[in-house]
């Protein structure tokens, strides 16, 4: 399930959970939500009871600026998507080779400094 689908599903389940009268009905709804989403039981209960909202987690901030990231991706694809350890060892030569290649792509000195 995608995050959007999960959020929509959990809002529908929250409405069904609120209308449930008996404990056995609520327990069955919790079990259904667990099998559909893969969340833990406590987390599903918190989502259904309203004490917690389903939200996207922030994650780590980008390490490089957008221009440097775009250049790095171009070089990475040109080199066959090698692992970071190998890429790190040849990045300096790869930047020079990529700038001299037929498309003649120019990277600004700031971007080259960021990548090195």
Give residue 24's pLDDT.
Answer: 93
The stretch 18-25 carries a mean pLDDT of: 92
Distance of alpha carbon 46 from alpha carbon 106, whole angstroms: 53
> What's the pTM value of the predicted model, to 2 decimals?
0.45
Q: What pLDDT, in 10s, does the model give residues 31-64?
A: 999 999 999 999 999 889 876 665 667 788 877 8
Q: Which helix (H) or strand (E) holds 18?
A: helix 3-19
Please write down the HEC assignment for all residues of 29-59: HHHHHHHHHCCCHHHHHHHHHCCCCCCCCCC
For residues 55 and 20, is the Cβ–Cβ distance under 8 A?
no
Give residue 79's pLDDT.
Answer: 83
**Per-domain residue ranges of the chain:** 3-49, 66-115
Give residue 88's pLDDT.
Answer: 85
**CA-CA distances (angstroms) from residue 107 to 60, 63, 75, 110?**
26, 18, 11, 8
Give residue 51's pLDDT.
Answer: 66
pLDDT for residue 26 is more than 90: yes
Tokens of residue 101, six digits: 């290649």
Distance of alpha carbon 37 from alpha carbon 101, whole angstroms: 48
Give residue 32's pLDDT.
Answer: 93
Q: What pLDDT, in 10s, does the model give residues 70-103?
A: 888 888 888 888 888 888 888 888 887 777 776 6
* Residue 7 banded pLDDT, cuts 50, 70, 90: confident
């Amino acid at each position: 399930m995608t995050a959007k689908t999960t959020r929509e599903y959990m809002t529908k389940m929250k409405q069904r959970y609120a209308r449930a009268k008996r404990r056995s009905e609520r327990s069955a709804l919790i079990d259904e939500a667990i099998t559909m989403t893969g969340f833990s039981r406590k987390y599903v209960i918190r989502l259904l009871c309203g004490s917690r909202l389903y939200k996207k987690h922030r994650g780590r901030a980008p390490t490089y600026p957008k221009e440097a990231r775009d250049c790095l991706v171009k070089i990475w694809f040109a080199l066959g998507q090698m692992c970071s350890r190998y890429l790190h060892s040849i990045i300096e030569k790869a930047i020079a080779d990529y700038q001299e290649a037929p498309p003649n792509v120019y990277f600004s000195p700031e971007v080259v400094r960021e990548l090195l």
